[in-house]
Chain A
Amino acid sequence: MTKPYDGSETTGFMSPARDHADGAVDLSEALRLASPSRYPVRVRGGGFASRGILDGDVLVVDAALDPAPGDIVVAVANGETALAVAEKRGGRLRLRRPDRYLDEDGSEVWAVAVALVRERLR
């Protein structure tokens, strides 16, 4: 491994920035992927394209957050893991899939989506 270039070994003039080099940005750190509550998940299907979430995207979800109205969440219902929107209805939080509301019994929030990573822009 060669040392990453930080301007400290220039041959002519010493770099005035040499003590200020930050190195490459660590997205894993920025997205707090090392936190015990954060999980990366892969989106399958286009039902949330209107919310800007496309097939193949990676969502970073956080299992420690309480879902608030408007949040996109990962919900578990009937043996399926699916995206849903948390909505306030009649004073209670309901989970809405593109085509229907999930039953309150038998569905639960697994984690709340906090970030999106798209590897290829289309």
Chain B
Amino acid sequence: MTSFALVDGNSFYCSCERAFDARLAGVPVVVLSNNDGCVISRTAEAKALGIAMGEPWHIASKRPELKGVRWFSSNYALYADMSRRMFEVLCSFSPDVEPYSIDEMFLGLDGLRGNREALGAEVRAAVLRIAKIPTCVGIGPTKTIAKLANRHAKNTPSLRGVCDLTDPEARRRLYEELPVAEVWGIGPASAARLARHGVRTVEDFLRMPAALARDELTVTGARIQEELRGTSCLPLSMLAPARKGLAVTRSFGAPARSRETLEQAVASFATRAAEKLREAGMVAGHMSVFMRTSDFAPGTKRSAQASSSIEPTSDTLAIVSAAIRMARRLWKDGYAYAKAGVMLGDLSLAAERPADLFPSRDPARFTRLMEAMDVLNARIGRGAVRPAAAGVGAPWKPRQGNLSPRYTTDPEGFMRVVA
């Protein structure tokens, strides 16, 4: 029988911070979104203090009872490296690992011998010891059940982080109690639709005729029913779905009032977008650029966006100059712009494209230049080589008031040990 485990990092970003700072053990920790805006990760201690996910930190931090909370700006370079470590530890258990997100990974258990629950505990101990991330492990015959088991393990400390719902009897007991909204793929809107049919628990949902489930939740509804019954409909996928579009957008640390500042921001977003495009081996045939003022700050509001087709490319210089041309057209004096972005669309694999009959650039020369740029940026650090248009200083750079060191990837930031 098919069997899956879902390994999910507990408060992943906070756990990455804790891995390298022993003073954070047992104290409430939160990690904030870009620009130090909202809470995007919190430890159990922070949750117990009533800190909600998504809570704006500039408001929450004023509450006197939250004085002892340690907060951090998001350190994605660190989180990416710790996610890689977690993934690689899992790969030592099974060749079938699906990285579902930065902190959740499905593990195919087919062909692994031994007691599943003991295996779950072993996986959990290895990830904690080697990748320094505490996790919960949910096990089941389908991905949907594994996900549910994982959630149950998180909410039930007596399970010590591992829950196996392979046994239909164990599932039946849980389904009687569990609200249907806890199921993977059933969001608040779907739960509200189901509630109109008197469906509250997972058991209620499974009693619903498949045709009705399909009517209410499209074909997904019937598939979720099958998965909850133990019939696997969602296989592991080791490949990310092909990207349809790609965006680099940011809120600014300080509002941009001059055209020059905004153009530098747009150029630097375009540079990063082109880099992501090349990482995926793709070219873009469409581009949008937008800029807008803050919804909250006082002053007149403005939101402007331009889109157009471009000659399919992944060339940083071509993408940057097209983005700047658009930004220039959109620019109007007298506003304090708070956010801008570059979106690339109409993506296709570079290798699958027919050669252009009349390309406007020498393709071989451009490829070598971009390769050289990517190599240098990988070696020296992102942004070491960039188009002059992206500027030198960066007043629009996001606010990162309390960024931890890049402990594992920057020699200046390595964890300190007292000798």
Pair from one complex: yes
Q: What is the interface of chain A, defined by CB distance below 8 A to chain B?
A: 1, 35-37, 39-48, 53, 55, 58-59, 63-64, 74, 76, 79-83, 98
B contact residues around A64 at 8 Å (CB): 129-130
Assuming the contacts A63-B130, A79-B23, asked whether A1 and B417 have C-beta atoms less than 8 A apart, the reply is no
Assuming the contacts A40-B408, A58-B414, asked whether A45 and B419 have C-beta atoms less than 8 A apart, the reply is yes
Q: Cβ of B320 < 8 Å from any Cβ of A?
A: no
Contact call B84/A76, Cβ cutoff below 8 A: no
Contact call B132/A83, Cβ cutoff below 8 A: no
CA distance A79 to B22 in the complex (A): 4
CA distance A74 to B20 in the complex (A): 12
Q: Cβ of B415 < 8 Å from any Cβ of A?
A: yes
CA distance A81 to B89 in the complex (A): 24
Given A41, A46, A47, which contacts B415 in the complex, CB threshold below 8 Å? A41
CA distance A48 to B418 in the complex (A): 10
Q: Which residue from chain B places its CB closest to the CB of A72 in the assembled complex? A: B419
Contact call B418/A36, Cβ cutoff below 8 A: no
B contact residues around A46 at 8 Å (CB): 419
Q: Cβ of B207 < 8 Å from any Cβ of A?
A: no
Contact call B419/A76, Cβ cutoff below 8 A: no
Q: What is the interface of chain B, defined by CB distance below 8 A to chain A?
A: 22-23, 25, 84-86, 88-89, 129-132, 371-372, 375-376, 407-408, 411, 414-419
CA distance A48 to B376 in the complex (A): 37
CA distance A76 to B416 in the complex (A): 12
Contact call B131/A42, Cβ cutoff below 8 A: no
B385 to chain A, nearest CB (A): 11
A contact residues around B415 at 8 Å (CB): 39, 41-42, 81
Contact call B89/A36, Cβ cutoff below 8 A: yes
B181 to chain A, nearest CB (A): 36
Contact call A63/B132, Cβ cutoff below 8 A: yes
What would 27 A/B residue contacts be, using CB atoms closer than 8 Å? A1-B372, A1-B375, A36-B85, A36-B86, A37-B85, A37-B89, A40-B411, A41-B415, A41-B416, A42-B414, A42-B417, A43-B417, A44-B416, A44-B417, A44-B418, A45-B418, A47-B419, A55-B419, A58-B414, A63-B129, A74-B417, A79-B23, A80-B418, A81-B416, A81-B418, A82-B417, A98-B419
A contact residues around B131 at 8 Å (CB): 36
A contact residues around B416 at 8 Å (CB): 41-44, 81
Contact call A44/B419, Cβ cutoff below 8 A: yes
B contact residues around A58 at 8 Å (CB): 411, 414
CA distance A29 to B411 in the complex (A): 17
B contact residues around A37 at 8 Å (CB): 85, 89, 130
B contact residues around A76 at 8 Å (CB): 22
Q: Which residue from chain A places its CB closest to the CB of B127 in the assembled complex? A: A36
Q: Which residue from chain B places its CB closest to the CB of A48 in the assembled complex? A: B419
Contact call B419/A82, Cβ cutoff below 8 A: yes
B236 to chain A, nearest CB (A): 20
Contact call A82/B414, Cβ cutoff below 8 A: no
Q: Which residue from chain A places its CB closest to the CB of B368 in the assembled complex? A: A1
B21 to chain A, nearest CB (A): 8
CA distance A36 to B197 in the complex (A): 49
CA distance A80 to B408 in the complex (A): 18
Q: Which of B375, B411, B419 has the most CB of A within 10 A?
A: B419
